[in-house]
Structure 1
Amino acid sequence: MVTAQETSGAGDADERPFIDVALVRDLLDSQFPQWSRLPLTPVLPGGSDHVIHRLGDELAVRLPRHRGAIGQAEKERDRLPGLAPRLPLAVPVPVAVGRPALGYPWPWAVTRWLGGEVATVEGLADSTEAARELAAFLRALQAVDPHAAGPAEVRETLADRDAATRAAIARAAGAFDAGATTALWDAALAAPAWSGPPVLCHGDFHTGNLLTTDGRLSAVIDFGSLGAGDPAVDLMVAFTLLSPRCATVFRTALGVDDATWLRGRGWALTSGLIAYTAYAADSPRIAAATTRQIRAALAGPGDLPPGDGGVRDALPV
């Protein structure tokens, strides 16, 4: 997920250090010589936040592309070893954190390699099994004391993203109806706030951070946005991956109330719009994914039918 802060420097040259195989090899050789003989292979296209290389058969090297991803290596090192045994899907447990060196300015990580393929709408959108597995993962994550491994980062709120979201609505007005997007955003901001204690949230729970093996969900990656807050943020997966029917299955399995679902639509909208305006012009892949996400948020897949307390009738669809 792109945060409001990340977009301000998304195109700045000094925010995007040059990273190639030679640099990664030199960093490994100088800091972790025990792995110097292992083959190193770029993983393409990689992620919007990290350049990724496979190291041998069992490891991966992940280097932040921009300042918005700084700190993820240390966060995952501190949090994921304790979380991994409590979650029903695999997560990328770090084995080492590298230091800035050789002109590369930020900490970077070596993690366990997770095999599989990135989840796709074509493969999983209509899978009720995947919808239930996603709900089970979030239930397990939310059951973990967010402060078990020390004070958890407090996640940003929808209100924190208001200015950036309205700016993105204006910038994307040629692609998405500004009246409809503004109406949904206003409704999400006005929805009753989360009344429970802050829970542990992945924070970037979307299709690109899910892996599959043999057509089934197998892993969740990229915990850089992990923190304590409103669980609505993790509902964005329903709008990036699932069909309307399976979004309803997901919502029912997770037991999401109307207000939380509406805030989840707001999270899907803001993250989709900000990513669209930052990356769509240069990446057809991101353009297609965020367009689907925004349209799904506007349509409200997974809303309960009238009579079940749904909010859909009050919003543009």
Structure 2
Amino acid sequence: MANMPAAEVPIDEALVTRLLREQHPDLAHLPVHTLSNGWDNAVFRLGSDFVVRLPRREIAVQLLRNEQLFLPQIAELTSLPLPVPIRIGQPGAHFPWPWTIGPWFAGRPAIDSAPSEHRGLVGQLAEFVIALHRPAAADAPQNPVRGVPLRRRDRAFRHRMETLDTAHSAQIIAVWEEVLEIPEWQCEPFWIHGDLHSANILVQQQQISAIIDFGDLAGGDPAVDLAAGWILFDAEARSRFQQEVGAALGPDPALWQRARGWALNLGTALLANSDDNPQFRALGDHVVNAVLAD
């Protein structure tokens, strides 16, 4: 993406192979292929069974450490496959930060398919958030931008709206101001994924094959994860998702209104960063339109 920050250290396949030889020589014979360079991590496939993730920026190091520390606990809560670290790489002379070897999961990101194709995912996603959303550990990470009161995102949201070219600006801002009046989360922090959108949900044969990228894992308001209802689903599937989650957790209209606000926050962020990414543009349009339609 055009706004993606540059990597602070050079990372390539040769470096990954060198690190493997130094720290995990039993895996160093496996082929290494580049998969992606995200905002925070460079990701490589290692052989047929593994993935190697290395931070591209110092700010992402703690996010990776959070996964290493807490994902084993989170994985015990759900039957869905999660990228629990298999091996941990240590900082060294050739790379200054920790890194992770995790499992490879078959499937394609849900962002590759239309929301109308995700109706079969409702039950699995509902089961996941029900299992995850429980009081977080006392030493759970704190995320400054996810699971926090929506008012903390107000300044960034309004700045973003100044740059967006959309015919719905007035309606978007009206809905945003409406959700800012909803009571904040009053309970203790719950575990949250923090980034539960359709690029982080893998799908195979119309089922969730894994949920990935737990860098934003934290304790906070679970509404941020429930925004997935507007991100992944059409109106019919979203209603079923809300019903299934509500049946387990109890009715909480304020929770769902905050979730709607988080969906609007993410939808506008996708649109603001979609200049060279048509998938982000399509998903952002879907999310914003779904929020405005409710």
Q: What is aligned with 1:199?
A: 190
Write the mapping of 1:5-16 to structure 2, written as runs, cut at 5 A. 10-13=3-6, 15-16=7-8
Q: What is aligned with 2:72?
A: 81
Structure 1, unpaired ranges of 5+ = 1-6, 301-317
- Partner SS, residue 86 of structure 1: coil
Q: 1:238 touches 1:247 (CA, 8 Å); kept in 2?
A: yes
- Partner SS, residue 52 of structure 1: strand
- Partner SS, residue 71 of structure 1: helix
**TM-aligned CA deviation for residue 197 of structure 1:** 2.5
Q: What is aligned with 1:218?
A: 209
1:34 aligned onto 2:26: yes
1:161 aligned onto 2:149: no
Distance between the aligned counterparts of 2:238 and 2:112, measured in 1? 12
Given candidates 247, 260, 264, the residue that maps to 2:259 is 264
Structure 2, unpaired ranges of 5+ = none
Specify the code of the residue in structure 2 equivalent to 1:84: A
Specify the code of the residue in structure 2 equivalent to 1:87: T
1:50 aligned onto 2:45: no
Q: 1:50 touches 1:69 (CA, 8 Å); kept in 2?
A: yes
Q: What is aligned with 2:136?
A: 146
Percent same amino acid among aligned pairs? 34
Given candidates 50, 55, 59, the residue that maps to 1:64 is 55
**TM-aligned CA deviation for residue 102 of structure 1:** 6.0
> Kindly tell me: are residues 107 and 157 of structure 1, through their superposed partners in 2, closer, same or farther at Cα, counting changes over 3 Å?
farther
Deviates more, 1:181-190 or 1:48-57: 48-57
- Partner SS, residue 275 of structure 2: coil
Q: What is aligned with 1:240?
A: 231
Q: What is aligned with 2:293?
A: 299
Q: 2:42 touches 2:53 (CA, 8 Å); kept in 1?
A: yes
TM-score by length of 2: 0.87
- Partner SS, residue 245 of structure 1: helix
> Kindly tell me: are residues 297 and 214 of structure 1, through their superposed partners in 2, closer, same or farther at Cα, counting changes over 3 Å?
same
Q: What is aligned with 2:268?
A: 273
Specify the code of the residue in structure 2 equivalent to 1:37: H
Given candidates 200, 212, 215, the residue that maps to 1:209 is 200
Given candidates 148, 171, 176, the residue that maps to 2:163 is 171
Q: What is aligned with 1:289?
A: 283
- Partner SS, residue 186 of structure 2: coil
Q: What is aligned with 1:180?
A: 171
Alignment RMSD, CA only?
A: 2.5
